[in-house]
Amino acid sequence: MAPQREISAWRPSVPGIVEVFHAHYTEYAYPMHVHEAWTLLIVDDGAVRYDLDRHEHGTPHDTVSLLPPHIPHNGAPATEHGFRKRVLYLDSSRLADDLIGPAVDGPDLADPVLRRRVGQLHTALADPGDELEADSRLTLIADRLRGLLRPRSAAEPSPADRPLAHRLRELLDERLVEGITLDEAALLVHAHPAHLVRAFSGAFGIAPHQYLMSRRVDRARHLLLGGRPPGEVATATGFYDQSHLTRHFRRLVGVTPGRYARS
């Protein structure tokens, strides 16, 4: 079997993400090297064996590996079929340098919730237009990483959470078409982004990005029934393009915008 090296890489419009990197290697081995950014890694098929700070590690099934910046590491397939991986490179705005020590001591995190969230984030990053969803998911991922690397007792829910959630809902309603980033919203309501996402989800049973897309789809339904074409409706309701509208419309309504309009 010939060696395979398949890769895709891009830089999304999400604060804190330096690069998204997907790769399938059958025989390639990385030499010792360092990154300036944090490396958040999941392996979908096969396994990787690597050395970090002169200690051997691996990526058993369903773990998330977090390799800190500036720490030498390598990487090689741990199975005869190689490995398929998805990687996010994150800057220090998401994970501070005080986590480097704990990450060196325990880079492989066996946490099913974290693994699922990282996979969901990669899905959100696959297409433009879902930046709020990606930002929200990454914020919760970073918060969970901090909790796993530096465990602390759970804080009691704040009585201010519900007014905070209502204020964010007002902002999402006001910025339905142009949208708003999580950092902008957090600055306006004077709350940490992760706390803001948790407060909103706890109060309304839906994540901020899901609420925003639901509102946009509702408006799109109204415009489609009024006779406006899907491409025009996508622009008028804040979607990146018609395919972005179609993806979310089908997910929430069960049919494409064109079929909905013809009905």
Q: How far is residue 160 CA from its own chain's centroid?
A: 27
Comparison of pLDDT for 117 and 204, the residue scoring more: 117
CATH entry 3.30.1450.10 includes domain 210-262: no
Q: Which of 61, 58, 51 is nearest to 115 (CA)?
A: 61
Average pLDDT over residues 131-159: 81
What pLDDT, on the 0 to 100 scale, is given for residue 68? 93
What is the domain partition of the chain in residue ranges?
Answer: 5-148, 153-205, 210-262
**At residue 197, does pLDDT exceed 70?**
yes
Say whether pTM exceeds 0.95: no
Fold equal for 5-148 and 210-262: no
Cα-based torsion angle of the residue sequence 160, 165, 170, 172 in order, rounded to the nearest 10 degrees: 150
Average pLDDT over residues 106-124: 95
Q: How confident is the model at residue 156 (pLDDT cuts 50, 70, 90)?
A: very low
Percent of the chain with pLDDT over 70: 95
pLDDT tens-digit readout, 49-65? 898 987 888 877 789 99
Q: How confident is the model at residue 153 (pLDDT cuts 50, 70, 90)?
A: very low
Asked if 83 and 48 touch (Cβ cutoff 8 Å), the reply is yes
Task: Name 38's bridge partners.
Answer: 90
The per-residue pLDDT of the chain, averaged, comes to: 89
Give φ, ψ of 259 to 5 degrees: -70, -40
Query: Which residue type is seen at 170?
Result: E
CATH number of 5-148: 2.60.120.10
What pLDDT, on the 0 to 100 scale, is given for residue 152? 62
**At residue 31, does pLDDT exceed 90?**
no
Distance CA 263, CA 259 (A): 6
Distance CA 39, CA 88 (A): 6
Distance CA 67, CA 202 (A): 31
**At residue 201, does pLDDT exceed 80?**
yes
